[in-house]
Structure 1
Amino acid sequence: MLGRALRRQLTQPCAPRAFSSSSIPRADFTHVVIGAGAVGLAIARKLADRDGTSTLLLERHGAVGTETSSRNSEVIHAGIYYGPTSLKTKLCLRGKQMMYDLCEKQNIPYRNSKKWILAQDAQQHEELVKTHDFAKSIGVPMEFLSLSEARAREPDVLAREAVLESPTTGIVDSHAYMSYLESDFQSKGGDLACHTNVQSVEPLSSGKAGWRIKTTSPSSPEITIITSETVINSAGLAAVPLSNSILPPERHLTPYYAKGSYYSYTAPLPRPKTLIYPAPTSGAAGLGTHLTMDMTGALRFGPDVEWVSSPTDLSVNESRLPAALDEIKTYLPGIRREKVQLDYSGIRPKLGKGGAVWRGSGEGFLDFVIRREEGFEGFVNLLGIESPGLTSSLAIGEMVEGLLYR
């Protein structure tokens, strides 16, 4: 529910702001950002840094970052999987360096853990060669390790054919990162409203530019109306339904939900110190059931991929554990199967081209969609923001500001 101070603010006219010639004299806010995950926080923080503006960040849950942003591997990705011209590649490369710099400057826990990608046969080796060549073409350092060096460094890890190392991959405490973004956003004068459900977003009537956002809270049926010069749809799992409620039918998109389960490991050994990934599979919707760790060194495995019709079920599917264990055993043969436990799951929002349905491969799924919507002045859409969204978040904030002001 919106706090009293914020409710009072909503009833007061805002000072004139330099957004455009069609600025709304009495809009409550310059910017309303919907969705306070890592990306929404980064966008709101960037916009709040502009002089003469006001930014409101809306979140339907009781705290920031409780959906996809806190249910992932917490990996700082190198940017090697997404194609040479994709937004994912561009924003991951930029965001990776921005995140490392911010974590270092603000003492946000992170570690440049590095990552190994393993090949167990000749075909997988070919995939690693393709990954290496692509990384080289976009300026991302990658190197092959000899099998003897790999065994000396990580004796518990099995690679029969080849090991490709990514030296710029790392891990971050995503909760500490988002906590910093939230605090910094508010220190810049931004307003955060949790427990706030967006019921509708509509253009203002009478030909005025700007937006009317109707919201409710779980504790009250009362509708609060907010007006804003701009609306940024960063609603994550709810972003496509929100976009479809605003844009005409011919511009609607179909959301797909890829649920990924994670598994914890409670035995003292084996304990690799490097992130371990299987070789990429062409057309796959994920990167395989890989090994990562948190800042305490606790191991976790995942995510796998389970296509679901709704983004609301976050229970871990126990029936998927045997297949995950079989994949883990291919690169960590000493793992004690009985010590691998169900942990948590997350859901990745994906998009399909032309309404295509899932048919068993990752081909046909779209890049990030980040754009000002033509014919809807002041409306910026962010759709299909999955991995590497966390790594890219600061660069996405920079991009959205550029879409609005440059």
Structure 2
Amino acid sequence: MLKTALNHYTNNFKGFSREIWILTIVTFINRAGTMVLPFLSKYLKEDLHFTYNQVGWIMVAFGLGSMLGSWLGGKLSDKIGFYKIMVFSLFTSGVSMFLIQFVTTFEALCVSMFLLMAIADMFRPAMFVSLGAYAKPENRTRALTLVRLAINLGFAAGPALGGLIIMGIGYSGLFWVDGSSCIISILIFALLVKEKKKIIHDDKIENAAAVKSVFHDKIFWVFLFVSFVTAMIFFQLFTTLPLYHNEKFGLTELQTGLIMTLNGLIVFSLEMPTVGFMERKGFPKIKIIILGSFIMSLSFFLLLINIWAGILVISMICISLGEILTFPFSNAFALSRAPRGQEGQYMALYTMSFSLAHIVSSKVGFEIIAQLGYQTNWFFMAFIGIIATLSCFWIKNALAAENVS
């Protein structure tokens, strides 16, 4: 029984090309070093002593830079290729991370964070497009999931290690480790993976006259709204929740890091088997996203129970399950929806929805907390999660009508 279960689990990791595995390892190294993000709001509030309002505006600059970077990364990937964009983005953002720790004024940090994220987030749409070159069509969702696993395994190690670094040598250590991981990971990629033109598979060959502009794809735009809302909810993990842990329950950086590590471990353990099972059973992607967005919404309803610290762990488990069901299939839905030659444009808009969520999530979250408290913020996030779930039902019906016509 145990051997059979183990074989089923390991079978999910078979059939990938060498390049996909290298990309996965590179992503893990990079993500494990990305320790600044989970503690960024705490660093700005507690180390640099900014107000909630100032922290919110710095996060807005963070998100605006991310949006610009996502758009540029997708546009340039279609024009000059994903490979060059990936190398430039990670190497330059690594060097920038070394420098940004010396920026401590509010105005300068807004500008610096904007520029840093404009460079760093060029990587994301380029990386998604690279999967079209290095993954087989039948492996594409699992390849996306494998890369996400690397992200989450790195995330499982990163926050706990980051908490130890802060307690040992302070926040400056995070910037040095983060910058180094960017540079090391992209050097490994450049040395081991050769540039390759994206192969147009049979499932992407279409009549050019029948290809519509992304701006006329109504289903995709409603899907982008769903992606934006679910990301907005999820990003509370990196903005308001770490502060809530300390202010409401008195948790240390290490304890916060360990709760975030739980998220990474759950996703690492369950995401690939879940995706493999769903693909084998042929469940429609949109139905899986419906369930995931509902569970993510439920996790914030649970946070309304604020008399017991254990609810933070239960809520984190629900967030993790919602993430497993929502994000890998959202990635795959966006990539499968893109017509030939427009993959970069579609993935740019998809990643931009996450960048916009960064802006709105932090700013709205901190403003609600400052004016009305944490409880109101948790209710608001849960409520918009229900709206996203209902929007998924509209997409499901629209897809059915599209297939009939």
**TM superposition score normalised by structure 2:** 0.23
Query: Could you say which structure has the greater relative contact order, defined with CA pairs below 8 angstroms and 6 or more residues apart?
Result: 2
Larger-Rg structure? 1
**TM superposition score normalised by structure 1:** 0.23
Which is richer in helix?
Answer: 2
